[in-house]
Amino acid sequence: MIDFRIKDRILNKIVNESPEMTFGFDSEDSQKIFGYNAELVRSVLDYFEDIGLIDQDKFLGGEIMLEILIPAHDLVSHGGFTAKEELLTKNIQNLLLEIESLKPILPEKVETITSILSGIAQGLAAFKPRKK
């Protein structure tokens, strides 16, 4: 399963080692560079492109050239996918606690529930693929 830790490891590698905002490598070296096989790395990079973190060019022979976009740097500086996962988890936990407390007094807590749901929606919106 590709989880937030794998995505963060790959994203941190390409952002932190790309002072020129580009990162090139041969997919045969994926295991050595990222610690994961080429198929997994390609899948994660395709996802990064879909959500607007990178643009990539794939060449015959397996070479991949990445352009690292500003949102990738922003995501890394704000804690990456790990921070997004933690925020989503916290928001869901808060929602569950709030719903539990609403059983006796539901009408008075609608605003609080709406605020928590808004936080969850914002967290989920970050994971939507961009339209091409």
Q: What is the pTM of this model?
A: 0.75
Rounded Cα gap, residues 99 and 119, in angstroms = 15
CA 89 to chain centroid: 14
**Residue appearing with tokens 């994660």:** 44
Whole-angstrom CA distances from 132 to 47, 75, 81, 120 are 13, 20, 22, 25
Q: pLDDT by residue for the chain (132 residues), tens digit each?
A: 899 999 999 999 999 988 789 999 999 999 999 999 999 999 999 999 999 999 999 999 999 999 999 999 999 999 999 998 888 888 888 877 777 777 677 666 666 776 777 777 777 666 655 555
Burial class (CB in 10 A: 0-12, 13-18, 19+), 113: middle
